[in-house]
Amino acid sequence: MIRFGITGRTRRGSFGMEKRAIIAIVLSMLVLIFYQRLFVKQQPQRREEGKEIERIAPKPSAPEVSEKRAGREAYEGVVRKEEERLVAKKVGEEERKTVRDVTVDTRLYSATFSSYGGRLKSWRLHQYKNRVENGPFVRWFQETERKVKGFFGFAGKPPLQGGPEPVELVSTEVLTDLPLAIEVEDEGGNVTLGPMDVDSDSILLGGNVREGTLLFRGSSAGGLEVSKGYRFFDDEYRLDMEVRIKNRGERQREVRVALVWFGMMMESRSRAFSGPVAMVDGKVREIKAKKFKNPKEPLLLSGDIPWFGSSMGEKNVEDKMRKPFFVSLIVPKENQGIDLKIGMKKDEKLMYSRAASPARSIPGGGEAVYSYEIYLGPKVIALLKELNVGAEKVVSYGWFNAIAKILLRFVNLTHKVTKNYGVDIIIISVLLKILFWPLTKKSYTSMKEMQKVQPEMAMLREKYKDDKARLNREMMDLYKRRKVNPLGGCLPMVVQIPIFFALYWALMGSIELRHAPFLLWIKDLSYRDPIYVSPLLMGASMLWQQKMTPTMGDPRQAKMMMFMPIIFTFLFLTFPAGLVIYWLVTNILTIGQQYLINKVRK
């Protein structure tokens, strides 16, 4: 585990052993600073959010804006009215009357397509819910916590009503902003497909029906007939899409076809990325909103683009520190010469990715076919590999990606036997402790030896308090003579920092651990402990461990270091429960190890 031992106090002019104390404290603070800098972003003020909603939405009636009824229902009502106004503005009344929905149901998802351009309106995953259902005590605790915070002036979100719902991967609802839009460009200009005819009202897959197709037909200006077909599979998150452009005229036409994906930027307090993503020339590019200083100037990407899409956050979840667990990927069958334009609509969080194919010449009576493979589902590496375009690279766990993937492979291996990821985390904690046993033992022995030389060090400080250079030389001679290393106690802490952060990101971003239960009230190892029991136990174990750690030097500094368990307890209150369990188990094992070392030495 990452250990912050009790060290001696550094007086002015001393150098030797006290250097260890400075390094230990600095490393402790770096952990806190890195967490804040890397994983936490400041939330915008609620007052500003309120002003933005008021600016873009029609003014609601008095009951709707009352504080007692503010929250989710009021917000959704305002957004719904604004969306209806936008739809009425962008789509003519006659066109809207001809638009209808088509549903597709499989074992893995339920989808809804609109006849307006054959766009995707909804994609809900049956096997993944937006949240877990807590028991009565946890719900009571969370409601009490919210009321207590409200009493002290900390606004809290009201609990979500109803039970868990399937995860929705389509984040837009305005008709003209639905994803999988098709634009046809020729010498007459750029035309976005509007209402189309469709050959079915619904598709139901299952049993002996393993595949289904859906066909939309329409036309663009200038005699071009456009058909847009989908092929669905009952046991896959993948679907095929084919766009056919038929030239009904006599003269040759130069045509370009663009496929557009729209998605909202999800609010998150973490540094986890949610938004447009693409592979360009073998490298994954994550396009963050801050790159668009001017929304009117989209980012243009060209080169070898085997796939593009969006790393997707979740709508309607209580926890905003989650890393996006889902992804939409579009794989053009012919990706050479594609121009990818990624932009943001002005004054909105709506981003789009527009992939335009190279121009093709279609003779009179001829046609051009554009084929795409689409994946809409969880970030499961095995499923993404099946696309054979390097899509699995969209799954990343930060700086320590390689270590995190090794840990996850082992956890998934033991899970085949235990069927409980909490138990798997305990197993890996024990094995890592065994692996680092020699380092921990060496660290503890070094601290004991340093404790023995404290009287001599105190004498040297007193004797050479006015001669810094001489004091440093005498300290180094003392270390050599007594064969002690003042930095020996820091080694296990430094070695385990990469493992700590790798496990952190693995728990935050691994789809396998999302909503994975452990025991009793812990029903999601990727989310914080809802009643804070495990962080408190972790803090108590850290305090116990510090009391067993050899003290070296000034007792006043030892008392100061006793605040570290308190600091870490508050820090771990919002950490994933799985990470807290790892740290707690490691602390308990370390306490047992120190007890055995002390017993052997006696």
**Sign of the torsion formed by the C-alpha atoms of 457, 458, 459 and 465:** positive
State how many domains the chain has: 2
Query: Which residue in 69, 107, 353, 345 sits closest to 207, CA to CA?
Result: 107
Residue 579 to residue 557: CA distance in whole angstroms: 29
Confirm whether 475 is domain-assigned. no
Contacts of residue 264, Cβ cutoff 8 Å, sequence gap at least 6: 171, 172, 349, 350, 351
Question: Residue 290: is it exposed, middle or buried by C-beta count within 10 angstroms (0-12/13-18/19+)?
Answer: exposed
Residues 383 and 325: beta-carbon distance below 8 Å: no
Q: Is 152 a domain residue?
A: no
Same domain, 442 and 352: no
Residues 416-448 have pLDDT tens digits of 999 999 999 999 989 988 888 877 777 777 776
Indicate whether 36 pLDDT > 50: no
Last residue of a domain, one of 394, 425, 440: 394
- Do 352 and 409 belong together in one domain? no
Domain contains 463 = no
The answer to whether residues 537 and 439 belong to one domain is: yes
Of the candidates 56, 558, 140, the one whose C-alpha atom is nearest the C-alpha of residue 345 is 56
User: Of 359, 394, 429, which residue is a domain's last?
Assistant: 394
Q: What angle do CA 376, 179, 176 make, to 5 degrees?
A: 160
Question: 394, 415, 432: which is the final residue of a domain?
Answer: 394
Whether residue 495 sits in one domain with residue 577: yes
Do 339 and 409 have their domain in common?
Answer: no
Kindly state whether residues 345 and 263 are assigned to the same domain. Answer: yes
What pLDDT is attached to residue 3? 38
pLDDT tens digits for 108-159? 999 999 999 999 999 999 999 888 888 888 888 888 888 887 777 776 666 6
Rounded CA separation 156/583 (Å): 29
Report pLDDT for 503: 79
Above 90 in pLDDT, residue 213?
A: yes
The reply to whether 124 falls in a domain is: yes
Q: Are residues 347 and 430 in the same domain?
A: no
Answer whether residue 185 shows pLDDT above 80.
Answer: yes
Give the mean pLDDT of the chain: 77
Task: Answer yes or no: is 480 within a domain.
Answer: no
Model confidence over 274-331: pLDDT tens digits? 788 999 988 988 887 666 666 667 888 888 899 999 987 665 455 554 567 899 999 9
More confident site: 500 or 371: 371
Do 432 and 343 reside in the same domain of the chain? no
Instruction: Out of 20-24, 171-175, 360-364, 437-441, pick the least confident.
Output: 20-24
Pairing of strands 101-105, 166-168: unpaired
Which run of H or E residues covers position 259? Answer: strand 253-264
Q: How confident is the model at residue 65 (pLDDT cuts 50, 70, 90)?
A: very low
Q: Cα(60)–Cα(74) distance, rounded to whole angstroms? A: 9
Domain annotation covers residue 473: no
- The side-by-side arrangement of strands in the sheet containing 166-168 is 166-168, 119-129, 109-114, 101-105, 202-204
> How far is 552 from 204, CA to CA, in rounded Å?
72
pLDDT at 45 over 60: no
Residue whose token pair is 């052993």: 17
**Which pLDDT does position 157 carry in this prediction?**
65
Grade residue 501 by pLDDT with cuts at 50, 70 and 90: confident
Residue type, 33: I
Distance separating alpha carbons of residues 549 and 292, to the nearest angstrom: 52
348 band by pLDDT with thresholds 50, 70 and 90: low
* Per-residue confidence band for 261, with pLDDT thresholds at 50, 70 and 90: very high
Domain holding 122, by residue range, is 91-144+164-394
pLDDT over 80 (residue 90): no
Q: What is the mean pLDDT of residues 70-78?
A: 43
d(C-alpha 457, C-alpha 21), whole Å: 15
Reported as a pLDDT band with limits 50, 70 and 90, residue 551 is: low
- In this structure, is residue 295 part of a structural domain? yes
User: What does pTM read for this prediction?
Assistant: 0.76
Q: 344 and 419, same structural domain?
A: no
Report which secondary-structure segment, H or E, holds 470: helix 468-482
Same-domain pairing of 387 and 413? no
Whether 86 maps to a domain, the answer reads: no
Least confident segment among 24-28, 207-211, 348-352: 24-28
- 22 and 101 part of one domain: no
Q: Which pLDDT value is given to residue 377?
A: 94
- Strand pairing category for 119-129 and 166-168: antiparallel
Please tell me the predicted confidence (pLDDT) of residue 588: 92
pLDDT at 180 over 90: yes
Cα–Cα distance for residue pair 112/13, rounded to 1 Å: 73
pLDDT for 15: 37
Q: Report the CATH number at residue 96.
A: 2.70.98.90
Tell whether 332 and 267 lie within a shared domain.
yes
Cβ within 8 Å of residue 288, ≥6 positions away = 273, 275
The torsion region of residue 354 among left (phi > 0), alpha (psi -120 to 50) and beta comes to: beta
pLDDT of residue 31: 54
192 in Cβ contact with 117 (< 8 Å) = yes
Question: What pLDDT is recorded for position 141?
Answer: 87
pLDDT band at 266 (very low <50, low <70, confident <90, very high): low
